[in-house]
Each structure stands twice: as C-alpha cells, then as structure tokens.
Amino acid sequence: MRLILMGPPGAGKGTQATRVADHFGIPAISTGDIFRANVSQGTPLGLEAKTYMDAGDYVPDEVTNKMVRNRIDEPDAEPGFLLDGYPRTPAQVEELDGMIRFTGHKLDAAVVLTVDADELVARLLQRAETEGRADDTEDVIRRRQEVYAEQTHPLIELYRSRGICVEVDGMGTVDEVTKRIFEALDIVDES
C-alpha cells in the first residue's frame, strides 16, 4: 500500500499513521518527525526548518521534497509507505507523482481525517501541555489551520478528482477512527 494521510494539524494523523502502517507492514513517514529530529540535533536543515515551524508556516518544498525522496528510497519503503504531512502543496503533489511513477507504482489512497476546528485547537493545546511542544501555542495553531485551508485543502479536491480520496470522520476515540479508516480502505481495495 502507498498511502497519504491528510488532515489539519491536530486531526490525529500521527496516531493513526502508526496504526495503519503497522497493519499493512509499511513505514509511516512523518515529515513533522523528520523536521523535529533535525531541529533537536541542530542540523543545518533543522535550523532552517525551525524558523518556518516556529512561525506556523510550511518548510520550503525543495527541503521537504529531498527529505521525502531520500526516505521513500530506503529499503523498508519498497513494499509501500504511508506519508503523514506530505504532500502539502500542488508542487509537492507533482514531485510525489514523479517519485512514485519512477518506481513503477501508484498511490493507492489519500485518506483525509476531518475534525471540527475548535476540537483541533483543544487537542493541540492539550498536546502542547503534555508533550512540552513549544511550537503549539494557540496563535501558531490557528495560523497552521489557516495555512492548511489555503494551501493543503485544495489537494483534497485533486485527489478526489483522481478517485483515490477517502474522507474519514476524525472525531471520537482513537479506536473508532482507526476502525473507520480500515473500513474506508477496504472499500477502496474492492473498487
């Protein structure tokens, strides 16, 4: 399976990515995790990414694309992968299309988690408190929602036009959302 997991910040992508990837035996590849690892290690890439992350903006495509290309070229991603947080822009969609086409495969589904905006803010403020994530202030959270609406939400329409968009209600318990994702993917597998 080659999947994309989409949704606004706080929709539960990270949690669900782990569960779905484990189920299919594929790696969950999170650009956010890659960025945070580089920031904590103080790498040049991390320092560059941090300036954008602290403002709630997206890291430039050229930096993100290179990281994703390198990661999906690793041996564990040969049978498939789940991308969490990528693509986020039309240019990244084109880049990903090229990466996958080069391997002779196709994208199986773009799973979109939908969650109420106020619930997203509450979730992220809670996460900031429990995980000590300084990048999750209310102003930055709201800015991320604006950036998502402006830049990423239009990608849903693109994947819908390709017939691979699967929208899943992201409200409820983790187990309820996981069950909905697997049910939706079963429908995609049968089509």
DSSP 60: P
Integer Cα distance of 51 and 31 in angstroms: 15
Instruction: State yes or no: is 162 an active-site residue.
Output: no
Residues 6+ apart with CB under 8 A from 157: none
Instruction: State yes or no: is 144 an active-site residue.
Output: yes
Give the distance, in angstroms, between the CA of residue 98 and the centroid of all CA atoms in the same chain: 18
Integer Cα distance of 96 and 93 in angstroms: 5
List 2, 88, 123, 180, catalytic entry: 88
φ and ψ at 113, to 5 degrees? -90, 125
Count of CA atoms in the C-beta half-sphere (13 A) of 182: 13
Instruction: State yes or no: is 123 an active-site residue.
Output: no
**Residues, the chain:** 191
Instruction: State yes or no: is 143 an active-site residue.
Output: no
List 2, 13, 50, 71, catalytic entry: 13
List 66, 101, 106, 133, catalytic entry: 133
Integer Cα distance of 181 and 112 in angstroms: 9
List 19, 36, 69, 127, catalytic entry: 127
List 2, 123, 144, 180, catalytic entry: 144
Q: Please list the active-site residues.
A: 13, 88, 127, 133, 144
